[in-house]
Structure 1
Amino acid sequence: MMKRIIAAVLLVLMFSVVFAGCGSDTAKKDGAAKKIIVGLDDNYPPMGFKDDKNEIVGFDIDLAKEASKRLGREVEFKAIDWSSKEAELKSGRIDVLWNGLDITDKRKENILFSDPYMDNKQLIFIPVGSVIKGDADLKGKVVGTQSGSSAEEYIDGNDTFKSSMKEVKKYSDYISAFMDLENGRLEAIIADEITGRYYMSKHPDKFIALEAPVGPVSSFGIGFRKDDQALRDEVQKVMDDMKTDGTSGKISEKWFGKNIIK
């Protein structure tokens, strides 16, 4: 009798192990092993852009790769129309917006954000020799910015400031705007400090950044679908770990020359 009981117990344990293994495999397929598709503007150096080999590189790219590696997931970077980023996220064509995305109250209505990981501010960039000294000097000037950017939101939200300028030209990316600034088709650009300073470093002695910020200082965050709390929390956990162990600081030093992680 005792032998039969022991045999029955062993049989139950064996099936429990088998089913537990199946459950684990299913979880990997449906959860942790699922590819993360990151939506980005692939012409936004140094956050995410194509290098000379046509490969997507950048500060946020390195962060996303390291985070995905720690989560045991593959990551795919998908170039999108940045002005339609919220629609791309909501549709499910991408899982994450990770590309120098400012956290704003307006965006919070449609996007679930991570904790801030970097501060950002909008600066005025001018060519060397310009007489512009601040935002008051933009009156009557042709000024450029990027469509879908925080700078555009600030300009469009301040009618007096916007109407004081002769024209506000909007570009699909800041690189095109800086090319027009260099060629005299613009008199100034209002742009993210990080992007502008990176572009300046590649074109020394051509541009000046005015130190006084235009509008409020903002912070970058990673954007998720409103109903994707689980993915948000997973990514936030590894981001916290990367900050604690110094990995994100090293990535920052690689791209900016110093650790500017919050």
Structure 2
Amino acid sequence: MNFIKLKNERFIMINSKFNFLKKLLFFILLIFFLQLPLYATKDIPPDIKKIITRGKLIVALKNGNYPPFFYEDDKKALIGYDIEMAQDIAKNLGVGIEYNRNAQSFADVIKLVENDSADLGISALSSTLSRGLSVNFSDPYLSPNQSLILNRILEIKLKNNNDIDKSALKIAVLKNSAYEDYIKQNITSFDELLKNTETIQYDDLEKALTDVMNGKILALYVDQIYANYIIKNRKLANIYVRRKDIDGEIDPISIVVNWRNQNLLNWINLYVKRMKYEGRNKYLSQKYLKDLK
């Protein structure tokens, strides 16, 4: 009986030690996994570490649609070239994504990044010298031509020296966009017939396009990608308007980064380079741009 009792007591003691070791191991593993994000980001620069620690990338995106860069589909889901690129950047950082859509203009997108209300601006943003005074721009991920969407009838009348209502001899640009700068810089690159036209600012691209199609104004000045999309997808657009590229003038489209976040800028530039090396830009172009030429 004493032998059996001793054996049972020994068994209880061993079992107790085993349970203690199990609990200790569980506690050690728990501490390890709780500290894992800290170890994982220990040597990462602060501007990138901030995003990883937060667990999401905040991207400034202009309110409204600007296809094929960003727009809502039939189910109100955001899609487009810029959307997929932003999602892929977040994926490579190992975080989620959130869009700050408080910007009512492209200039407002720049301000959101400048004021640290967003980590990046990805919104078909032209990298201009004036904008570069307040923020950093990545290497361009697209470089379309600058283009005019021209009213066909007014253009023919202009070429044939026919009488045209002088109020119609205007080229529209979107207010607070890079094209306000471009038209001042590049008017000398326009055809002789277009150099004496007046510039008119619009708050809404759709209104400007409607006025061009109706012959109220001569042209709308935009990037080639947007022009191609409109002419292909807007009903009757290819009948009433045509695209005319401005020779030698491109619109470098880049990602905006706060000037303080130099390490993040370097990483984004690496992403843009690898995007080209690995064919991601080709994939996105095939998906969103191939039918627009």
TM bracket (short chain)? 0.7 to 0.9
Instruction: Give the match for residue 87 of structure 2.
Output: 65
Q: Does 1:207 align with 2:241?
A: yes
State how far apart, in whole Å, the 2-side matches of 1:158 and 1:205 are.
27
State how far apart, in whole Å, the 1-side matches of 2:221 and 2:99 are.
27
The normalised TM-score by structure 2 is: 0.70
Instruction: Give the match for residue 175 of structure 2.
Output: 147
CA, structure 1 residues 139+92, in 2 after alignment: closer, same or farther (shift >3 Å)? farther
Instruction: Give the match for residue 48 of structure 1.
Output: 70
State how far apart, in whole Å, the 1-side matches of 2:292 and 2:244 are.
22
8 Å Cα contact 2:148-2:221 kept in structure 1: yes
Task: Tell me the CA shift for residue 157 of structure 1.
Answer: 5.2
State how 1:115-130 maps to structure 2 within 5 Å: 115-130=139-154
Task: Tell me the CA shift for residue 212 of structure 1.
Answer: 3.3
CA, structure 1 residues 119+134, in 2 after alignment: closer, same or farther (shift >3 Å)? farther
- Indicate the SS of the match to 1:212: strand
* Deviations 1:7-53, CA, capped at 9 Å, x for gaps: xxxxxxx89x9596363277698442532221122321111122333
Task: Tell me the CA shift for residue 54 of structure 1.
Answer: 2.5
State how far apart, in whole Å, the 1-side matches of 2:81 and 2:60 are.
14
* Deviations 1:94-117, CA, capped at 9 Å, x for gaps: 221112211222221111111122
Instruction: Give the match for residue 197 of structure 1.
Output: 228
Instruction: Give the match for residue 196 of structure 2.
Output: 164
Instruction: Give the match for residue 271 of structure 2.
Output: 238
Task: Tell me the CA shift for residue 237 of structure 1.
Answer: 2.6
Instruction: Give the match for residue 39 of structure 1.
Output: 60
8 Å Cα contact 1:144-1:190 kept in structure 2: yes
Instruction: Give the match for residue 4 of structure 1.
Output: none
8 Å Cα contact 2:147-2:244 kept in structure 1: yes
8 Å Cα contact 1:250-1:259 kept in structure 2: no
CA, structure 1 residues 43+170, in 2 after alignment: closer, same or farther (shift >3 Å)? farther
8 Å Cα contact 1:124-1:134 kept in structure 2: no
State how 1:81-160 maps to structure 2 within 5 Å: 81-82=104-105, 83-131=107-155, 140=166, 141-156=169-184
| Aligned-residue RMSD, C-alpha | 3.5
8 Å Cα contact 1:139-1:165 kept in structure 2: no
- Indicate the SS of the match to 1:243: helix
Instruction: Give the match for residue 178 of structure 1.
Output: 209
Give ranges in structure 1 of 5+ residues lacking alignment.
Answer: 1-13
State how far apart, in whole Å, the 1-side matches of 2:39 and 2:58 are.
23
* Deviations 1:211-258, CA, capped at 9 Å, x for gaps: 334x73231111110001122223333333332221221111111118
CA, structure 1 residues 103+202, in 2 after alignment: closer, same or farther (shift >3 Å)? same
- Indicate the SS of the match to 2:228: helix
Percentage of identical aligned residues: 24
The normalised TM-score by structure 1 is: 0.77
Residue number among 36, 40, 44 corresponding to 1:21 in the alignment: 36
- Indicate the SS of the match to 1:152: helix
Instruction: Give the match for residue 252 of structure 1.
Output: 285
8 Å Cα contact 1:39-1:77 kept in structure 2: yes
Aligned letter for 1:179? Answer: T
8 Å Cα contact 1:126-1:132 kept in structure 2: no
Report how many aligned residue pairs link the two structures: 243
Aligned letter for 1:66? Answer: D
- Indicate the SS of the match to 1:37: strand
- Indicate the SS of the match to 2:39: helix
State how far apart, in whole Å, the 1-side matches of 2:81 and 2:127 are.
18
8 Å Cα contact 2:51-2:57 kept in structure 1: no
Task: Tell me the CA shift for residue 84 of structure 1.
Answer: 2.5
CA, structure 1 residues 61+48, in 2 after alignment: closer, same or farther (shift >3 Å)? same
